[in-house]
Amino acid sequence: MSSRRTIDVGRSKLSVTLSLFLFFGCAAFAGVGATVAFIDPTRPRLFGFTAMTVAIAVAIATVKTWEKALPGIFAFGALNALIMVCQGHALNSPEVPVARPLGLLLLAGMIAASGLTAYANDQILRLVERVSAIGVFLCCAALFSGFDYQSLFMTAGFVCATFPAIRHWLHLRRKRVEVPGNRG
């Protein structure tokens, strides 16, 4: 019996590792494709559009595989934000100062996004959860691109992470109103 448990744990670790590689590989490929398609004039734009489209298509087709890894990805983001708050500069770039309030805001956002995506993982993967995960993926892919709107992309990713919780809250509210004799 213990050997079966060891095999299941091994498969679980391999599955998590593969889902992380799949998520970040597709996001990086899509981000670089967007950079080539929209910013870099030295490379063929068709190559950029093709790379971006293929990466996004693979990510959409495999969302069920990698969406379980999103809470961990955001937890690592929270760890990075904590390091930035403690050191006072951007990770791996000591010459780029980061204000402590901004670092604390990033830390709070990453912790909240980790909790929200963990909550979404407990739900059945419906359209709202799928759109939420794809939105987070697209925002992460945009962070890999050459566009200079990182704070906008991070905010949009956090907003996408809230969709399942909002849907669930609206569903519970609607159920409460529909109960006979309840005036709401």
DSSP one-letter code for 68: G
pLDDT digits (tens, 9 = 90+) for 33-46: 999 999 988 889 99
pLDDT of residue 31: 93
End-to-end CA distance of the chain: 52
Residue pLDDT, tens place only, 159-169: 888 888 888 88
pLDDT tens, position by position, 113-162? 888 888 888 878 888 888 999 999 998 899 888 888 888 888 888 888 88
User: How many CB atoms within 10 Å of residue 42?
Assistant: 5
Closest to 64 in 3D by CA, of 164, 162, 133: 133
Determine if residue 77 is left, alpha or beta; phi over 0 gives left, psi from -120 to 50 gives alpha, anything else beta: alpha
Confidence at 11, pLDDT banded by 50, 70, 90: low
- Enumerate long-range contacts of 10-14, CB under 8 Å, 24 or more apart: none
